[in-house]
Amino acid sequence: MSTQRRWPRPQIRSVLALALVSLTGCGTIKTTGTTRSGTEQLLLTQAWDSALQKVDFRPLTGVPVYLDTTNATAVDQGWIVSSIREAMLAQGVLLRTKPEQAQWVVEARVGAYGTNDKSWLLGISQTTIPPTVTGVPSGTIPELPLIKRNDQQAVAKLALFAYDRSSGQFVWSSGTMLATANTKDVFIGGLGPIHRDSTQDGAEFVGIRLPVPGQPSRNDQEAPSSYGRNASSDPTAIRQLPSGDADSFMP
């Protein structure tokens, strides 16, 4: 007669626990950083878009136009130049790719495209105690804020004007357009940041959205046309040249 030996349950549990402890696992997360923050890029392009929306290009319709962007230089130049072209086309301007194909030349320039930073602190700022103070240990006292606020503001300034390519006569000016966009980070008693900026609705606390009561989300609002009138919904936004006039400026 054979008998099977059975391990006591406490011993089995000890063996399983030891086996689980002996198992090792490892996971890694790769993070990268860009030269410019996404917030900075959003603020700058939003300020630029807001300034560009104020320009009325309709006086340029009906005449072939060449856009000169030599002086439209900025860190986001690709966005700047492309958005100007989109705004002009959306309002019915007939753009040409070469100056000799156009009757008028529109010159664009950027007067400001950058950010300003400022901070405000209620509490004890970081202080360094020099070793020359007798009886007091040297070192650095960390910042102890009760309330701290960091602000960043983006500023965009642009202007455009047009002249006749053949005679050089001045024909149009947009005037100077200025717009800003901003972001705010608030820390209270060391907690935060409570983040809010002009590119989104409501505020965020450590990544958690805190909507403003009674304010609808931007997704629930009707999105306006990016620049001026919406050419797809307004049949009068695009004006065609008479066939004879248009053909005279063809390459």
pLDDT tens digits, one per residue of 68-110: 999 999 999 999 999 999 999 999 999 999 999 999 999 999 9
**Chain-centroid distance, C-alpha 108:** 21
What pLDDT sits at residue 234? Answer: 46
Predicted TM-score of the model (pTM): 0.68
Segment holding 18, helix H or strand E: helix 9-22
Q: For the chain, what is the radius of gyration of the CA atoms?
A: 31
Residue ranges per structural domain of the chain: 36-221
The pLDDT value recorded for residue 194 is 81
Percentage of residues in the chain having pLDDT higher than 70? 69
Question: 148, exposed or middle or buried, with CB in 10 Å at 0-12, 13-18, 19+?
Answer: buried
- The whole-angstrom separation of Cα 80 and Cα 75 is 9
Q: Residue 224's pLDDT is what?
A: 45
pLDDT at 177 over 60: yes
Amino acid at 176: T
Half-sphere exposure of residue 157, counting CA atoms within 13 Å on the CB side? 7
Q: What is the pLDDT of residue 68?
A: 98
| Angle, helices 77-90/38-52, rounded to nearest 10 degrees | 30
Q: Rounded to an integer, what distance in angstroms lies between the CA atom of residue 177 and that of residue 140?
A: 47
Q: Which 3 state secondary structure label does DSSP give 107? A: strand
Q: Above 60 in pLDDT, residue 250?
A: no
What's the pLDDT at 221?
44
**CA-based nearest residue to 65, from 159, 158, 172:** 172
Tokens of 55: 């320009």
Distance CA 45, CA 23 (A): 51
3-state secondary structure of 70: strand
Cβ-contact 123, 146 below 8 angstroms: yes
Least confident of 23-32, 132-141, 172-181, 227-236: 227-236
Task: Write the DSSP string, 117-165.
Answer: EEEEEEEE--EEE-TTSTTS--EEEPPEEEEEEEEEEEEEEEEEEEEET
Q: In terms of DSSP bridges, do strands 139-141 and 94-96 run parallel, antiparallel, or are they unpaired?
A: unpaired
What band does 137 get if pLDDT is binned at 50, 70 and 90?
confident
- Are 177 and 159 contacting, i.e. CB atoms less than 8 angstroms apart? yes
Written as six digits, the tokens of 193 are 């940041």
pLDDT at res. 206: 64
Q: Which amino acid is at 73?
A: T
pLDDT band with cut points at 50, 70 and 90 for residue 223: very low
Q: Give residue 159's pLDDT.
A: 98
